[in-house]
């Protein structure tokens, strides 16, 4: 499955739209699928495994999700919504754009680092991360960028700064730290991440970026 430009924009719109209340059976199936993927990884899980965990017939899942890939994408979409909600809540009503940069960066990086599914895939199937990002990352990146850029504009409405670019650079840096840990940036805990963001990343908001 490959998302073309229209697919990415469609997914971006779905992420930005209010989430419809799922029915109990959808929630049960997605919860079971998430647990299976977290426990066994993406490759080893079958629709039958999810059906057993959810306590439903396999045909019940196929009536709602045509195949395993569609089920996986539904799980990822739900987790991405939760990720975006966390960023939105962390940056809501902050006193300054600098605070929005710091809290948005900290929340985004820490949420990804501590998510059980992301942790599982990075540890056991790192080669699966890039394909998933290529399918979903564009839309998720744009949706997260829009949230953070909106917070920056609201905190400083008269600033002509290109807030979209600032927000996207922050998110791309967080993704690189997630996928390539270690190196010279010792950002192992929340205090270190927050101090780094405050000392370095807020410079992008200053005139001339310095």
pLDDT at position 2: 32
Max mean pLDDT among 32-41, 120-129, 184-193, 197-206 falls in: 32-41
pLDDT class of 9 with cuts at 50, 70, 90: low
The span from the CA of 9 to the CA of 199, in Å, is 34
Contacts of 82 (CB under 8 A, 6+ apart): none
pLDDT digits (tens, 9 = 90+) for 155-208: 877 777 788 998 899 888 988 888 888 788 878 899 999 999 999 999 988 765
Q: What would the two tokens of residue 198 be?
A: 């405050």
Q: Please, is 152 exposed, middle or buried when counting C-beta atoms within 10 Å of its C-beta (0-12, 13-18, 19+)?
A: buried
Query: What is the reported pTM?
Result: 0.80
CB burial readout 53-74, b (16+ within 10 A) else e = bbebeeeebeeebeebeebbbb
pLDDT digits (tens, 9 = 90+) for 150-167: 888 888 777 777 889 988
Pick left, alpha or beta for residue 4 (phi over 0 → left; psi -120 to 50 → alpha; otherwise beta). beta
């Amino acid at each position: 499955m490959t998302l073309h430009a229209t697919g990415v924009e469609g997914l971006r719109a779905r992420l930005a739209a209010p989430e419809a209340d799922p029915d109990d059976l959808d929630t049960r199936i997605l919860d079971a699928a998430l647990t299976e993927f977290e426990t066994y990884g993406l490759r080893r899980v079958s629709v039958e495994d999810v059906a057993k965990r959810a306590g439903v017939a396999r045909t019940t899942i196929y009536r709602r999700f045509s195949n395993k890939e569609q089920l996986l994408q539904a799980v990822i979409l739900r987790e991405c919504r939760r990720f975006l909600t966390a960023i939105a809540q962390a940056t809501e009503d902050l006193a300054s754009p600098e605070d929005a940069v710091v809290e948005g960066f900290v929340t985004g990086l820490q949420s990804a680092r501590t998510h059980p599914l992301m942790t599982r895939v990075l540890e056991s199937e790192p080669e699966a991360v890039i394909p998933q990002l290529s399918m979903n990352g564009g839309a998720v990146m744009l949706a997260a960028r829009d949230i953070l850029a909106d917070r920056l504009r609201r905190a400083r409405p008269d600033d002509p700064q290109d807030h979209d670019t600032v927000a996207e650079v922050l998110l791309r840096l967080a993704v690189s730290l997630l996928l390539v840990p270690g190196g010279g940036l010792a950002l192992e805990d929340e205090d270190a991440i927050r101090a780094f963001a405050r000392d370095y990343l807020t410079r992008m908001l200053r005139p001339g970026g310095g």
